[in-house]
Amino acid sequence: MQSPFALKIMDHLTVGEYWNKNAEAWTKLARAGYDVYRDQLNTPAFLASLPPVAGLRGLDIGCGEGHNTRQIARLGASMAALDISEVFIRHARAEETRAPLGITYHQGSAIKLPFVETEFDFATAFMSVMDIPETERVLAETYRVLRPGGFLQFSLLHPCFNPPHRKNCRDEANVTYAIEVGDYFIDARGRIDEWTFGVAPQAVRGQMQKFRIPRFHRPISQWFNLLVATGFTIERVEEPTPSDETVRHWPVLQEAQIAPNFLHLRVRKPLVMSGNAEI
């Protein structure tokens, strides 16, 4: 019997078309402060675990309108950034013109990065690698442009708690007490999820179509095996959860105290080996 999620497999170009259509509304809503999960949980946790980057050359893969790229540049890194969506890149470049941070933005695909080998000290990818079906090629390209000893830090929806079936179980007070998950091993690559930022007022949401986002769920074992097969060494794993104080200010985040929404991974390209010694 065919799985209900066994849809036509998409490539990066088709996915890029979806994101280009999402980009205008996404930029407007996110810059208005409605991406609470990013601003109050995901990005702060990511930056808190990021190694010092001042004086280093970095690449942000799947940069969107550049919000997180700008955060890293403010830490002192010299940043380049890339996204497949021309609308996102247009907004990112406009912001760079308005408030320069020395970031160069490139429109292109992460499966063929327009950079030379070993050009970067580190790379970041905020919630982007998971949206590219040719994951193996993205990791290989990232490995290629990193110098020996350089690192990749990226975030994604937690595969264990955001599989194709996910249900938020709430009590009478609308407080989450459990997350129900299922279909963990189903190949859901290419399924379209439709949603928008739930904290945005209805009047604002009503003016825009919901985002249509292709999903490419992989079990967590696949992620770790892909990273190891590429040649990376796994260095750090984080599962961010909000503090009680954060939840008091942003109750919508309470569910992330029950089970993590996001998984953060940092992996490193080994130094060149000479005999039994690293150089």
Asked whether residue 250 carries a pLDDT value surpassing 90, the answer given is: yes
Distance CA 173, CA 41 (A): 23
Asked whether residue 268 carries a pLDDT value surpassing 90, the answer given is: yes
Asked whether residue 278 carries a pLDDT value surpassing 70, the answer given is: no
170 domain residue, yes or no: no
pLDDT at position 115: 98
What pLDDT digit, counting tens, does each position of 197-225 carry? Answer: 999 999 998 889 999 999 999 999 999 99
Distance CA 75, CA 97 (A): 19
255 domain residue, yes or no: yes
pLDDT confidence bin for 9, thresholds 50/70/90: low
Asked whether residue 188 carries a pLDDT value surpassing 90, the answer given is: no
> Out of 79-88, 151-160, 185-194, 270-279, which region has the weakest mean confidence (pLDDT)?
270-279
- What average pLDDT does this structure show over 230-250? 98
6 domain residue, yes or no: no
pLDDT at position 189: 77
Distance CA 127, CA 125 (A): 6
- What average pLDDT does this structure show over 88-104? 98
pLDDT confidence bin for 105, thresholds 50/70/90: very high
The token pair that represents 120 in the structure block: 């970067």
pLDDT at position 4: 41
What pLDDT digit, counting tens, does each position of 46-78 carry? Answer: 999 999 999 999 999 999 999 999 999 999 999
Asked whether residue 3 carries a pLDDT value surpassing 50, the answer given is: no
- What average pLDDT does this structure show over 244-257? 98
| pTM: predicted TM-score of the whole model, two decimal places | 0.93
CATH number at residue 153: 3.40.50.150
State the chain's mean pLDDT as an integer.
94
147 domain residue, yes or no: yes
- How far apart, in Å, are the Cα atoms of 215 and each of 24, 133, 242, 251, 270? 20, 9, 25, 26, 31
116 domain residue, yes or no: yes
Distance CA 101, CA 58 (A): 13
Asked whether residue 5 carries a pLDDT value surpassing 50, the answer given is: no
Distance CA 262, CA 251 (A): 17
Asked whether residue 28 carries a pLDDT value surpassing 80, the answer given is: yes
In total, how many domains does the chain have? Answer: 1
- What average pLDDT does this structure show over 131-152? 97
241 domain residue, yes or no: yes
- What average pLDDT does this structure show over 85-106? 98
Residue 199: partners with Cβ closer than 8 Å, 6 or more residues away: 34, 36, 252
The CA-based angle 154-157-159, given to 5 degrees, is 110
223 domain residue, yes or no: yes
198 domain residue, yes or no: no
* Residue numbers of the domain that contains 231: 12-157+219-270
